[in-house]
Structure 1
Amino acid sequence: MRIVVAPDSFKGSLSAIGVALAMERGIRLVFPEARVHAVPIADGGEGTVAALVGATGGTLRQTRVTGPLREPVLAQWGVLGDGATAVIEMAAASGLPLLAPDRRDPRLTTTFGTGELIRAALDCGLRKIIIGIGGSATNDAGAGMLRALGASFADAAGSELPDGGAALARLERIDLDGLDPRLDETEIIAASDVDNPLCGPRGASAAFAPQKGASAATVAVLDAALCRYADVARRATGRDVAGLPGAGAAGGLGAGLLFFTPAQLRPGVEIVLDAVGFPEIVSDADFVITGEGRTDFQTAFGKAPVGVARVARRFAVPVFCVSGGLGEGADDVLSLGIDATMSICDRPMPLDECLRTAASLIESATARLCRIIRASRRGGRMP
């Protein structure tokens, strides 16, 4: 029997590598003789740098940058094995895990540090940059990133706007005269984990700002501010990108890249799966176990488990998703190639306990799943 485990990280508890190892231990409890191929993956958020650098034999680097609330952070990024391509996670500079829950406020947080990472890659002479744009703490449509690269965002009086998504409601003029000219000669690939537009009911604010600390009233304020941003950016660039899939990724960072750089948006999980050669890995597997910290309606937008399932489905390989929790809309993934979902929580427990014991819970849940699969195979209902 050949089993592929291809999980994303369980944010706040385990890296993708840690999850994959726990899943393998669970498999061994039921199928001790199985050949297990572990493929830790990512979808543009946390773990993207590690996955791509590891798959290509690249190198890791660190740069001190500005965090989401202007506090310095040491952000890790990488250079792929070709020596010519940088890979950056915006989450390393502007991500939600950098802030305690009581300090999260998308009205104020900035992507300035992400721009500093891009500048660091340019300063190293790299002219191809992959930017993972998942896991943000921000809702500023990349305005902070662009400021770090030389752009200016002003109100009607000509004063520079402060940080954050809420201030964009007062945006009147975008000055691109100082924007780093090296961007025009750089291939930029934005690795997104969602396909949401910038504004509206499925936009950046409505879909993602609540998990960043926004109330319902704040969501409305932020959405109106992003609509204003889109209007002014369209006038400044002649581009109309706000409705494109992925424009709403990372609090609108996707739109900022599309408006003001030569960026192309691609599903992050596709970039990672291509880099690790996943189609070849999965083609002759008996089944695949994937997973993530929480499976809900957002997963169906294009997150890692769905990306894994789309590839596996081409080879008629069953896919099972073991997750830290199942939220509203989790069943949406069942029409996208995932055959069944399972939560690691086998009893009611506080969140902090679940995070602390995630490895053992993942191992146990994977073993439970494998026992069900074993029983199904005995009954002749699985290949």
Structure 2
Amino acid sequence: MFQSQPPECPCISIIIPVYNAGPYLGECLDSLLSQTFQDWEAICIDDGSSDESPALLDKCAAMDPRFKVVHQQNGGVSNARNRGLEHIRAPYLLLVDSDDWLEADALEQLYGSIRENGGDLVIFGHYFHEFHRPEPRTCLPWFSPSGPEKRKEPLGFRSMTRITSYACDKLFRSSIIREQGMRFQEGVGIGEDLKFILEYLGYSQTILFINRPFYHYRYGAGITGSHQTIWKRMTPQGLLQSLDALTPLCASLPLSFSAAARRQGMSALLYWNLRHRKYMRSIINCMPRKERRAILSRSRLPWWPLLLKSSPVHTSSVLLRHYAVQPVRAFLVRAKAAACRLARRAPASIHE
């Protein structure tokens, strides 16, 4: 375990936006209290909750001074995160959703890795818990079981294709966010993480990948991740605003990128759009046909600019990976897992 710094100088700030998370909030807070690394602060933003969440947060803050609780009227997750950004003091920042939780050694491993290896951004694996599946899926930055656990890479096509479009599996440098005045775009229900990450990458040079899962992401809990829930709480105008916010991303790569890096970034962005197209389509398909048609006619992802501005080699690589390599790889992983399950269930030989 690392030596603790004085309470006034934590090593990691953790922002937790909380809105009616009562059934899951206790597990989230307990995962912080059980960390093997002690030098952290948790900034919990109660975003106008009407359940037992505010009382639970206040109780936790009274027991442990590392918890700071801010109560406010409901403004959405981006507004709550922005409020939390005003209070961070540590050199590193972690974003945690109130219905998720961390492995006990997550903070120790993350802090030790970035201190030892450097990097402007740390990407790590996570467990993906779906309510209709008994066992979680393990999502890692790369699939090689025999490869190194940690890998530091310069920002480019290869590294960007390993970066997910949500913020909870990343450790950020607070200095970059503070110096560039970065904030999450409020009023956008889908894609706010993606915009924030792309902006952050514009001020980053190197990415540190850790091929271990530290974060437990709960999907379909009614708080985050449910397509039907998102549609019910979003108006068609809100969804249109979210889709429109994604449209100019291909032109938003910072001018500090070299021409080659911008081409690689375009290809990686195309890869992201392809990868998350199924998710976006599933949300849109929940809408009434008339409203869906109006939104699709007004807001389209810029496929042709991406294709034209990217180099043919990178674009071809992106398309090949999305439509051929990834499906084959996913099939082989599922086949191997099924074979392992059958082997465990097989009766022992009478000759053994």
TM-score (norm. length: structure 2): 0.30
